[in-house]
Amino acid sequence: MTLVLVLKWVLGGREGVVISSDSRATVGPVSYETRKVHPILLRISEEYIPLAVAGGAGDATLIKQSYRLCEKILQDLAVAEWESKTPSFEQFEDAVRQIESTLISRFRGLREQGLEPDFSMVLASVDQNGKASIYQFDDRGLAEPIHDNPGFAVIGKGFFTGGNLLLKLLNYTPERSGELDLGALSAFIIDVISEIDPSVGPFIGESYYMRVEKGNVVLGSLKEEALKEYKEKVKHRKEIIQHLWRLFDQVEERKIMKKLKELEAE
């Protein structure tokens, strides 16, 4: 199975999208490593224009076919209608409707043949004005816009073993996301869930961040040095949370909160 996290990150009044995944796939008794996040780019000479980024959970064949479908529709539209640029919020919405229509037809055909699709996908983009789009596709092919409410998605097996619970516990909301390092948050959630769910692998750096930088839309993957830093942060934060929990049974919560607020104010 899989765990894919898609989080809206609001910094300086502009929205970005962080999409991260574990890398474990399980077929019967066999587990193997595979990439589950797919950047969609348009190549113009030696330049790559970011169009979107996708993440999927479920049947690997359906996910790969859907990535190719998204890629073809977005690239064709970029060349024919978008002047080879990252789509605007409205243009991306129109493209999603085309993708949705094709997926609905495809999945209907599978059901008519007695095959039940195991499929969930998230498709996200950020336009040049710093407006994020996040759409979640279900096993009927229907797309739900979730960029404004709730502003995040958790898909795959990890949804049931703690993805949403940890986001709630750690108080993630798009409105407060500027106070958080969403790369570290994603790594923490994936690693913690992998310790209790054998179908979810540890975080090994499959993460992309799409945002506006110096007036241009950029889409970058997590670098190796950043991965090492996040893995250390996850280790230390788990230890701190465990120490705090033990401390709650020894010291009044009010006193602990006072000390924490003093640290925040420094």
Q: Residue 38: CA atoms inside 13 Å, Cβ hemisphere, count?
A: 20
Cα separation of 117 and 107, whole Å? 7
pTM attached to this predicted model: 0.89
Residue 181, pLDDT score: 93
Three-state SS string across 249-261, please? CCCCHHHHHHHHH
Structure confidence by residue, pLDDT tens digits, 134-148: 999 999 999 999 999
Structure confidence by residue, pLDDT tens digits, 202-252: 888 899 999 999 999 999 999 989 999 999 999 999 999 999 999 989 999
Cβ partners under 8 Å of residue 128, min gap 6: 85, 86, 88, 212, 215, 216, 217
Phi, psi of 14 (to 5 degrees): -110, 145
Query: What sign does the dihedral 148-154-159-162 (CA atoms) show?
Result: negative
Residue 160, pLDDT score: 53
Residue 115, pLDDT score: 94
Paired tokens of 230: 């996040």
Structure confidence by residue, pLDDT tens digits, 153-163: 999 865 555 67
CATH no. of 3-222: 3.60.20.10
Residue 162, pLDDT score: 65
- Binning pLDDT at 50, 70 and 90, where does residue 194 land? confident
Q: What is the DSSP string of 105-143?
A: HHHHHHHHTT----EEEEEEEE-TTS-EEEEEE-TTS-E
Cα separation of 142 and 120, whole Å? 10
Residue found by looking up tokens 């990439």 in the block: 35
Residue 26, pLDDT score: 52
Paired tokens of 160: 């049931």
Structure confidence by residue, pLDDT tens digits, 251-263: 999 999 999 899 9
